[in-house]
Amino acid sequence: MSKRDLKKYLGELNKEQLEEQIIELYEKFSPVKVYYDFAFNPKEDKLLQECKVKISHEYFPIKKPNAKWRPKAKMRRSVAQKYIKHFISLGVDPFVIADVMLFNIEIAQTFSSQNFIKQELFYKSMLNSFEQVVNFTISNGILNDFKDRIIAVEQETIQQKWKNKYDFETILEKID
């Protein structure tokens, strides 16, 4: 069904029928429920904190109280990407989204400053995240608000002697 056909169909329904359909969608489909729950009660701060905790646990997992061993860091970029995609679909403030994007890179750099990482994929995925945050802040007109943090990320790649530090530099040249 095209958007035009949908508009025509919805235009033929009365208010009560529309309400019934929306309630049915709300009950039947989880993404619709999540959207409406957020739309009517946007707790961006709470979402942001939950997100940051989950991302930081990817690099610095918490040892369970009675456990004899500490869980190994998983370092999955996909966890942050899932939150970013979810925030974009909900229409969360671009400042919050950019903050999450940068936090993901910053926590990864904190981890890499304390641990040797031999997987090339880690560095490549951080480069992709860096390019994504630069493009996102430019396209949303909020680059000046995040420029210092973006430059700090790039400087940290140089300090830690990442193999792809020049690729970060190349991306940073876009904003000058």
| pLDDT tens series, the chain, 176 aa | 888 988 888 899 899 998 999 889 889 988 888 788 777 877 888 888 999 999 999 999 887 777 666 688 888 889 999 999 999 988 899 999 999 999 999 999 999 999 999 999 999 999 999 999 999 999 999 999 999 999 999 999 999 999 999 999 999 997 86
Angstrom distance (rounded) from CA 34 to CA 26? 9
- Name the residue range of residue 22's domain: 1-41
- Total structural domains in the chain? 2
Shared domain for 105 and 30, answered yes or no, is no
Q: What's the whole-model pTM score?
A: 0.80
Shared domain for 151 and 82, answered yes or no, is yes
Shared domain for 78 and 90, answered yes or no, is yes
Shared domain for 51 and 103, answered yes or no, is yes
Shared domain for 29 and 62, answered yes or no, is no
Shared domain for 94 and 118, answered yes or no, is yes
Shared domain for 121 and 100, answered yes or no, is yes
Angstrom distance (rounded) from CA 59 to CA 61? 6
Dihedral angle sign, alpha carbons of residues 105, 111, 116, 121: negative
Shared domain for 120 and 150, answered yes or no, is yes
